[in-house]
Amino acid sequence: MSIKIIIADDHVIMRQGLIQMLQADGHFTVIGECGDGVSLINLVLTESPDVVLMDISMPEMSGLVAIDKILAQRPMTRILVLSMHNEREYMEAMRDAGAKGYLQKETSADALVQAIKQVAAGKQIFPGLESLTAETSPATISPLSVLTRREREVFFLVAAGNTSKRIAELLTMSLKTAENHRSNIYKKLNVSSSAELIRLAGKAGLLE
């Protein structure tokens, strides 16, 4: 049973890369491709895909509007947004619009293939918006992608076993700020202790 896919992206090269990748895997049939929002709506309505793989910034009609229109006419459509934007506001907006997943274009081929299969099976994929559990997010997506730059520095220092006080010294910030960063990181990664954080870092291959 092959998964039927429509791809929408205004960059032809991006589209071709995706098509090659999906064909190489063997579980997918690309039943349509296009480069703007209006054609996408038409394609979805005539071809009934299992999954739509789409970019946000496209000519004619923005991705957000296209999602609205598609879901208004075919509410069961499973949409996976593939975007160059890593800001969480993008992810939230797409989730609120009714997409089933959001990944960055930098995502590795393996993770992307896995994500499409999960979306086709009815799962939601929004790395960083929900806790990073093994079930909802492919293990290949780095926990670092949800952290800010400063948080990442703190993340590595926590993973290396430093206390908040030591981290504050190393990064020349107040103890309160260091502790704030630490608790934000814990929240984002859904861990409750440095031991859990180190375990997570190890699993993601971030410790040598």
Q: Is 202 in the site for another protein (CB under 8 A)?
A: no
DSSP code of residue 171: T
> Which of residues 106, 122, 134, 172 is near another protein by CB under 8 A?
106
The distance of closest approach from Cβ of residue 47 to another protein in the complex, given in angstroms and rounded to an integer, is 26
Cα 59 from Cα 39, distance rounded (Å): 10
Number of H helices, E strands in the chain: 9, 5
The stretch near another protein (CB under 8 A) out of 25-33, 62-70, 118-126, 188-196 is: 62-70
**Which stretches of 37-108 are DSSP H helices?**
37-47, 63-73, 88-97
DSSP code of residue 106: T
Tokens in use for 194? 């440095």
> Which of residues 47, 92, 169, 196 is near another protein by CB under 8 A?
92
Cα 94 from Cα 164, distance rounded (Å): 36
Count of residues that interact with another protein, criterion CB under 8 A = 25
> Which of residues 14, 19, 38, 93 is near another protein by CB under 8 A?
93
Q: Is 172 in the site for another protein (CB under 8 A)?
A: no
Helices 175-189 and 194-203: crossing angle in degrees, nearest 10, is: 50
- Judged by beta carbon, residue 31 or residue 65, the one nearer another protein is 65
Q: Is 149 in the site for another protein (CB under 8 A)?
A: yes
Q: Segment 118-147, which members bind another protein (CB under 8 A)?
A: none
The distance of closest approach from Cβ of residue 29 to another protein in the complex, given in angstroms and rounded to an integer, is 29
- Judged by beta carbon, residue 42 or residue 62, the one nearer another protein is 62
End-to-end CA distance of the chain: 40
E strand or H helix that includes residue 101: strand 101-104
CA-closest candidate to residue 201, choices 126, 128, 108, 132: 132
> Which of residues 148, 183, 190, 192 is near another protein by CB under 8 A?
148
What is the contact surface with another protein in residues (CB under 8 A)?
Answer: 56-57, 62-64, 85-90, 92-93, 106, 148-150, 152, 156, 174, 176-177, 205-206, 208
